[in-house]
Structure 1
Amino acid sequence: MSKKLVIKVTAGADAPERCSQAFTVAAVAVASGVEVSLWLTGESSWFALPGRAAEFELPHAAPLPELLDALLAGGTVTLCTQCAARRGIGQADVLDGVRIAGAQVFVSEVMADGAQALVY
């Protein structure tokens, strides 16, 4: 049975430690060979845009752009449809490799056999 880790991160610059924890756990899981799906919701939605991760700073934390690059290379990164719409973000605006999808896709990922979900 394959294991999948689905992580929903709601925090951004408004809660930097929680945000960093979500990205760090996701990137470590990818590096460990786990199938990872990271969902950007709420204030983390902004990190789907080019250059936004580089603006994030948290002392003693791995650089967010490096974590995001690892996730884009080895996992799935999804921007919440409603969160994108509320912020005026369209598919043409986001980083290559980021998809925009809604609750139906999230629920199907979480309910898949072997999936585990975390919310930050």
Structure 2
Amino acid sequence: MNGLVINLTHSVDDVDRTSVAMVVAGASVASDQKTTVFLSSEGTRLAAKGVAEDLHEEGFAPMSELVSNYVAAGGTFLVCSPCAKKRDIGEDDLIEGASVVGGATLVALLADGAASLSF
């Protein structure tokens, strides 16, 4: 199973786009696809504890629910290391299911045949 990688470059700066990405991620993992959300740029903030609790776009479930359901179903978050460092987000700041990684981890997933989407 090659799975799906969703590159999410937004969070608090575009809750609508972030909500769509998390709905797609949730649908993917619920369909038994190996699903990884790669958080880069402003997307890294979504992996910080407490951030999702403050986000809710009209017409979507609250972000905290989208994130917790995704993780509970087996989805993972990979957080861009330099992006997290720039935003002062460390391993101790991360939600369950998230880990800081270098770009080589993303490249390996894609090289192994994972499909990708970007939001």
Unpaired segments of 5 or more residues in structure 1?
none
Distance 2:49 2:78 in 1: 14
RMSD across aligned C-alpha pairs, in angstroms? 1.2
State the Cα deviation string for residues 56-115 of structure 1 (Å, max 9, x = none): 1210012211111122221121111011100111111111221100110001111113x1
Unpaired segments of 5 or more residues in structure 2?
none
How far residue 3 of structure 1 moved from its aligned partner, in angstroms, is: 3.5
The answer for the alignment partner of 1:54 in structure 2 is 53
How far residue 44 of structure 1 moved from its aligned partner, in angstroms, is: 1.8
Distance 2:33 2:45 in 1: 25
Q: Which amino acid aligns with 1:81?
A: S
Distance 2:81 2:37 in 1: 14
Q: How does 1:90-105 map to 2 (within 5 A)?
A: 90-105=90-105
The answer for the alignment partner of 1:11 in structure 2 is 10
Identical residues among aligned pairs (%): 32
The answer for the alignment partner of 2:20 in structure 1 is 21
The 8 Å contact of residues 45 and 80 in structure 1, kept in 2 or not, is answered as: yes
State the Cα deviation string for residues 10-49 of structure 1 (Å, max 9, x = none): 0112222211111110011111111101111111211111
Distance 2:70 2:77 in 1: 7
Distance 1:118 1:56 in 2: 22
TM-score by length of 2: 0.92
Pair 1:87-2:80 in alignment: no
Q: Which amino acid aligns with 1:90?
A: G
Distance 1:16 1:8 in 2: 15
The answer for the alignment partner of 1:112 in structure 2 is 112
TM-score by length of 1: 0.91
The 8 Å contact of residues 75 and 97 in structure 2, kept in 1 or not, is answered as: no
How far residue 50 of structure 1 moved from its aligned partner, in angstroms, is: 1.3
Q: How many residues are treated as equivalent by the alignment?
A: 118
The answer for the alignment partner of 2:29 in structure 1 is 30
The answer for the alignment partner of 1:45 in structure 2 is 44
